[in-house]
């Protein structure tokens, strides 16, 4: 049997800390949603706190959630044997799942009550459950390194895994790019669609389309009637979460291409699908924009999600005497772990939680870059292709 070493001050040092008292109501709700039998502690990336504060141990520190894009450092999880003759020979750490972090009444008043739609369930089923991808993780920004070689003093007596990298915007699937297209924006490729709807000659510029690039694909509203005054209004069905009056022209067949995971791309076009529908083509020496007007880039409304980390261990009995110094150190770790877990010592699988908040650090630059690709910005530059047939 191997148990995690719980560091009361992991909130300032990194690693596994105790469940914070303020998190207990949320953890009880989270257990029901994930089916996890119990959570043994909270995972804190390194540098969670700006300075060490040994007067605020983890269970009362009320540490805020981790944020996306922040470097996690090389944060280790230590598993130690319960019995003197045990050795931890293998550890398997993985990002087990992502879930919504339950909101308190105060948070609901501040950011609103979370309402799950068909769209949410579809996206969560597609991308929030571990498919054992690269580095035993869901989010490609996170790196899990199993079976790290322990210090010589603890060789054979401690199983160590390490989490590093960063949390990307992988979990925040509900971001949306709103685009307005038509020949009036230097896009001759929409002349055929305009003709199909009865627009010819000088009237072709009256034809417009609205395109929504979402986590579940590209939604289009053809021959959209745009009010020249006021803000563009798009209605969404309350239960399904799908845009009313649109059809899905290009459904998302997989999750990853439609969400933001790359740190470089996040500063510019966001992801490959957003680039695909906003990039500028060159035709006969003229620029032909794929986006006429970028009307908006909607950030995520999910606010905070929670990553469940699963650690399993393989132990064997090796009745060899330990060096005295090692035995004394491990005895302290065992005592801390056993006092924390007591009756939970029934298997070698442990679960930890890590709340993560959406961070819009790149969203401003991203919106500026996307808006700049739009054809409307180039109408006066003489770079656009001739709209006439």
Assess whether pLDDT exceeds 80 at residue 226. Answer: yes
| Beta carbons within 10 angstroms of residue 321's beta carbon | 8
Confidence of residue 8 (pLDDT cuts 50, 70, 90): confident
Contacts for 126 with CB less than 8 Å, ≥ 6 apart: 252, 254, 255
Confidence of residue 342 (pLDDT cuts 50, 70, 90): very low
Q: Where does residue 135 fall: left (phi above 0), alpha (psi -120 to 50 degrees), or beta otherwise? A: left
Confidence of residue 218 (pLDDT cuts 50, 70, 90): very high
- CA atoms of 325 and 226, how far apart (whole Å): 76
Task: State residue 382's pLDDT score.
Answer: 60
Task: State residue 324's pLDDT score.
Answer: 60
Is the model more confident about 336 or about 302?
302
How confident is the model over 77-118, as pLDDT tens digits? Answer: 998 877 766 777 788 899 999 999 999 999 999 989 999 999
Confidence of residue 55 (pLDDT cuts 50, 70, 90): low
Assess whether pLDDT exceeds 90 at residue 167. Answer: yes
Is the model more confident about 307 or about 160?
307
Task: State residue 189's pLDDT score.
Answer: 93
Task: State residue 345's pLDDT score.
Answer: 45
Classified as helix, coil or strand, 114 is: coil
Look at 144-153, 156-165, 213-222 and tell me which has the smallest mean pLDDT: 144-153
What is the pTM (predicted TM-score) of this model? 0.87
Instruction: Find the distance separating the first CA and the last CA of the chain, reported in whole Å.
Output: 76
Task: State residue 380's pLDDT score.
Answer: 61
Confidence of residue 150 (pLDDT cuts 50, 70, 90): confident
Is-contact 213 176, C-beta < 8 A? yes
Backbone angles phi, psi at 51, to 5 degrees: -145, 155
Report the candidate in 85, 27, 1 with the shortest Cα–Cα distance to residue 341. Answer: 1
């Amino acid at each position: 049997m191997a148990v995690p070493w719980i560091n009361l001050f992991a909130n300032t040092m990194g690693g596994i800390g105790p469940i914070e008292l303020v998190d207990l109501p949320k953890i009880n709700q989270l257990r029901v949603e994930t089916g996890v039998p119990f959570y043994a502690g909270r995972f804190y990336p390194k540098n969670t706190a700006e300075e060490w504060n040994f007067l605020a141990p983890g269970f009362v520190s009320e540490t805020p959630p981790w944020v996306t894009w922040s470097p996690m450092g090389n944060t280790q999880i230590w598993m130690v044997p319960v019995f003197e003759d045990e050795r931890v020979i293998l550890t398997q750490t993985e990002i087990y799942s992502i879930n919504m972090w339950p909101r308190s009444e105060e948070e609901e008043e501040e950011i609103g009550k979370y309402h799950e739609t068909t769209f949410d369930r579809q996206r969560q089923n597609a991308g929030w459950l571990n498919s054992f991808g690269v580095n035993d993780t869901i989010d490609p920004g996170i790196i899990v390194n199993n079976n790290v070689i322990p210090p010589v003093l603890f060789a054979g007596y401690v199983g160590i895994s390490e989490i590093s990298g960063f949390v990307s915007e992988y979990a925040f699937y509900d971001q949306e790019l709103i685009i307005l297209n038509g020949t009036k924006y230097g896009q001759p490729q929409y002349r055929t669609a305009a003709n199909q709807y009865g627009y010819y000659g000088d009237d072709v510029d009256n034809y417009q389309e609205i395109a929504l690039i979402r986590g579940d694909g590209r939604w289009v509203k053809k021959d959209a009637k745009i009010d020249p005054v006021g803000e563009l209004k798009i209605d969404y069905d309350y239960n399904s979460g799908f845009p009313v009056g649109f059809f899905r022209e290009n459904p998302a067949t997989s999750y990853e291409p439609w969400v933001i995971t790359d740190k470089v791309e996040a500063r510019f076009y966001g992801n490959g699908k957003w680039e695909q529908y906003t990039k500028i083509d060159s035709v006969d020496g003229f620029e032909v924009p794929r986006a006429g007007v970028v009307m908006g880039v909607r950030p995520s409304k999910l606010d905070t999600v929670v990553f469940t980390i699963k650690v399993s261990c393989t132990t064997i009995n090796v009745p060899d005497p330990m060096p005295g110094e090692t035995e004394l150190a491990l005895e302290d770790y065992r005592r801390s772990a056993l006092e924390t877990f007591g009756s939970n010592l029934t298997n070698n699988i442990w679960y930890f939680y890590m709340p993560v908040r959406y961070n819009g650090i790149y969203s401003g630059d991203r919106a500026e870059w996307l808006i700049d690709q739009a054809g409307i910005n180039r109408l006066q530059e003489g770079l656009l292709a001739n709209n006439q047939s």
